[in-house]
Every structure is written in C-alpha cells, then in structure tokens.
Amino acid sequence: MTTKQWYQGLVKLIIAMVLLWGACEFYYFTQKKKTKQPQLTTITLTTDVRAYCAKKCCVPIERWCDGIFANGDKAEGLAIASSVLPFGTIGNVPGYGVAVVKDHGAHLVEVFFEKHENAVNWGVKRNMQVEVFQK
C-alpha cells in the first residue's frame, strides 16, 4: 500500500464518519420533534371541600397521625386528600390554591392544613367548583 492509497483510504473513512454523524444527528432531531408533551384533561367538580390536619382531632385512626401523607411525603404545605382521585392528580381549590393529591380521604376532596386552627376556620365549604387536571 502506497502513501497515496493510505491517505485516500483515510479520507474515505473520514467522509464516512461525517456522513454517519450527520445521519445520527438527523435521526435524533427528527425523533425529538415527534415526541409529544402529555395533554392535561381538565374536569370541574362541584363538591363540598372539607379541611383536615394531621392531628388525632381530624384523623380517625391514630396511626395515620404520623406526619406522613399516604403517598410517603412529609405532611406539610398544600395537599389534597381524596377518596377517588389518584395520587399525583393536580387540583385547584378556590381559596386554597393549586395542590397535588397526596393523601387518601373519606370524601371526594379534602384540603390539608398544618395547623388545626386553620382547618377549623376552613371547616366545610359547600358546592365549590374544584378544577382537576389529569394526564
């Protein structure tokens, strides 16, 4: 093999690598554009919204007063408990805010408060329009 043949082989190899790289880039970007973002479905529920805290006064079974939601998260911040909505469902409760279902509840929608006094002040709000967002 002469030096000229060796260089010609090297050039062909480099050209093949560039073409292969371009094909990989093209495939990557076309596939990336095809992936769709999950669409959220919005449902409006008219329901009573009850409040609760993580203390025995609001929770019927003492072992549930451990400061942990049913999904394993620490009981703090905004959260929703529901008897039918799955964990991870997002809800917008007027006067409370946007929160995620993290706990099981006895009712369709319950909102969590860290302080018992706040739960008592909320009480039960009747016929609220709660927006629920699901994937």
Query: Among 11-15, 109-113, 118-122, where is mean pLDDT lowest?
Result: 11-15
Q: H/E/C letters for each residue in 6-24?
A: HHHHHHHHHHHHHHHHHHH
Residue count (the chain): 135
Q: Give residues with Cβ within 8 angstroms of 128, minimum separation 6.
A: 46, 47, 48, 49, 93, 94, 109
Q: Which residue is listed with tokens 């993290």? A: 102
Distance, in Å, from the CA atom of 42 to the CA atom of 105, rounded to the nearest integer, reads 21
What pTM did the predictor assign? 0.67
More confident residue, 103 or 17: 103
- Indicate if the pLDDT at residue 29 is higher than 80: no
- Indicate if the pLDDT at residue 70 is higher than 80: yes
Nearest in space to 128 (alpha carbons), one of 96, 101, 103: 96
